[in-house]
């Protein structure tokens, strides 16, 4: 059987399954065996699209086995939505084939750029918030959604610099992209904390103003705290440690405003053992359970 027929046959086994409003984790090779053998009680898994764009091999073998029992969210890191140049059509085709193969319940990408004249960079770089960038990002988001035939969630970035060219707030920019394209939003709560400290703004005020009615997914992660050249605190979005207490507090505020949403624990560096990662997901589950309990309690 050739690769195309194999992928089509596999896709027929995977009806698009909504991602539940529970905690999920990123699917890592270190945990394949634990998940396949124990089938843990976790809401869903997320994969980085670019890690599964090959035709076969162990990644697809394990993803297929895991997808049989769990909902899936697909998170892209390579579309370069904020790039000044055109989208990579080949990359978009590969992305569409992956979505058709595994039928994920959610698809998301970053508000960032990572390519220049055909060269892929290792960073997700920021964009200025102005009319020119808004038009370009909206055009790219619309192109992606038209090509994939589905809605995309756009993630708020972690930020370390501000542009003098910016004429819009980050929230105003995101809301304008949603209005122009009909996309949804991925609210990365850790990114809110990181950007707020780095730019001296109030993370609570940011969340109070965020258009939560468009949020389809939350992200939570750990960050590193260092000092910049002026001896001021600088937070780095590292994804290599547990979620910190102040991010958990912001998450409680976010779900009070938005209600429960699928929530990812991002842990991409220094990946821990499965029990440690699962325990982080359970913390998120407990916060969601508390929110549901308080909402349903008699008044």
At 179-209, the pLDDT tens digits run 999 999 999 999 999 999 999 999 999 999 9
Average pLDDT over residues 2-30: 77
- Number of domains into which the chain is organized: 1
Domain range for 49 is: 3-296
Total-model pTM: 0.91
Q: List the one residue out of 135, 85, 79 whose CA is nearest residue 107.
A: 79
pLDDT of residue 1: 38
Q: Which residue has the higher pLDDT, 84 or 279?
A: 279
Q: Which residue in this structure is represented by tokens 């910190």? A: 244
User: How many whole angstroms separate alpha carbon 282 and alpha carbon 293?
Assistant: 16
Evaluate the CA torsion angle 76, 80, 81, 86 in order and state its sign.
negative
CB atoms within 10 A of CB 123: 8
Q: What is the CATH number of the domain that holds 155?
A: 3.20.20.150
Percentage above 70 pLDDT, the chain: 91
CB 202 within 8 A of CB 139: no
Residue 40 clears pLDDT 50, i.e. is over it: yes
pLDDT of residue 6: 58
CB 190 within 8 A of CB 219: yes
pLDDT of residue 298: 53
| Helices of type H across 149-202 | 170-181, 189-199
Q: What are the tens digits of pLDDT across the range 100-126?
A: 999 999 999 999 976 555 555 456 678
269: CB partners within 8 A, 6+ apart: 238, 239, 240
């Amino acid at each position: 059987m050739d690769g195309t027929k194999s992928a089509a046959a596999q896709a027929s086994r995977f009806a698009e399954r909504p991602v539940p409003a529970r905690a999920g984790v990123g699917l890592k090779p270190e945990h394949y065996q634990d998940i396949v053998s124990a089938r843990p009680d976790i809401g869903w898994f997320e994969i980085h699209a670019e890690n599964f764009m090959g035709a076969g091999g162990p990644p697809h073998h394990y993803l297929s086995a895991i997808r049989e029992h769990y909902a899936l969210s697909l998170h892209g890191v390579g579309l370069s939505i904020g790039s000044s140049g055109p989208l990579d059509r080949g990359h978009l085709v590969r992305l569409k084939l992956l979505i058709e193969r595994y039928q994920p319940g959610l698809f998301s990408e970053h508000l960032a750029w990572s390519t220049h004249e055909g060269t892929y960079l290792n960073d997700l770089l920021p964009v200025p918030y102005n009319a020119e960038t808004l038009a370009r990002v909206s055009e790219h988001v619309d192109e992606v959604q038209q090509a994939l035939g589905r809605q995309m969630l756009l993630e708020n970035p972690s930020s370390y610099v501000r542009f003098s060219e910016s004429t819009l707030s980050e929230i105003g920019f995101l809301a304008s992209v949603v209005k122009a394209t009909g996309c949804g939003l991925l609210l990365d709560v850790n990114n809110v904390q990181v950007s707020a400290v780095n730019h001296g703004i109030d993370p609570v005020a940011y969340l109070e103003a965020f258009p939560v009615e468009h949020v389809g997914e939350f992200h939570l992660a750990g960050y590193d705290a260092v000092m910049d050249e002026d001896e001021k605190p600088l937070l780095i979005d590292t994804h290599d440690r547990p979620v910190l207490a102040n991010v958990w507090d912001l998450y409680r505020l976010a779900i009070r405003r938005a209600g429960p949403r699928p929530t990812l624990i991002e842990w991409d560096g220094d990946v821990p053992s499965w029990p440690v990662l699962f325990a982080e997901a359970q913390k998120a589950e407990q916060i969601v359970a508390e929110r549901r309990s308080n909402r349903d309690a008699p008044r």
